[in-house]
Amino acid sequence: MYPTKEICKQLSDQELIRKSLQEVDYFSCLYDRYEEQLLRYIKRLGVEEEAEDVLQEAFINIWKNLYAFDQSLKLSSWLYRIVHNQVVSCIRKKKSFGKDQKDTFDEQRFADLPDESFLDTDVLEEKDRLTHELLEKLPLLYKEVMVLKFLEDMSYEEISDILKIPEGTVATRINRAKKAFRKLSEQYPIAF
């Protein structure tokens, strides 16, 4: 029997894991529950074009390792960790083949933007786009903590679980990442 969306919603993560191991159709419930947020996380780490492929590979790894999941851990942290590893692997592959080359940032595109006192949707969208461009310029170890903390709204403990680093290291990386981001943002005419 294929589980309906209603059945899926009623089950906890642990129940879904148990049922998925007994009947493969329940794995689709896990996929549906986490697909959107994991895909968003992948894209925020700068893997836009390959995001769907990375997510598929991550879910294959999740399925292969589901039996080994430690039920005392939070499922979402475990899923993010697997996705994180898949993203790092994808980035390494791109760099090894030179596919990570990007155009340089063109400051002239922002020269004619209106003063911030006239904020409108276009300027807000431009700030959002620029924020993502600046995030792209950060080293991966800073970008990943910024995305997890400020865009995915995770706690230091969850970030620690995902990245497999101590919470103190998470705090240090976030602090350094904010400084690096601030320094980068000073180079552009839109104030953050």
Residue type, 133: E
Domain that holds residue 91: 5-96
101 lies in some domain: no
Supply the pTM of this predicted model: 0.68
145 lies in some domain: yes
Q: Do 62 and 79 meet the contact criterion of CB atoms below 8 Å apart? A: yes
Claim to verify: residue 55 and residue 132 sit in the same structural domain: no
Cα–Cα dist 140/43, whole Å: 13
Domain end position, chosen among 61, 77, 96:
96
Claim to verify: residue 115 and residue 177 sit in the same structural domain: yes
pLDDT, tens digit (0-9, with 9 covering 90-100), for 92-117: 887 765 544 554 445 554 455 444 44
Question: Can you list the positions of beta strands (E) in 70-177?
Answer: none
Q: What are the 10-residue block averages of pLDDT along the chain, 192 residues in total?
A: 86 92 92 94 88 93 91 89 91 67 49 47 68 85 90 90 91 92 79 50
102 lies in some domain: no
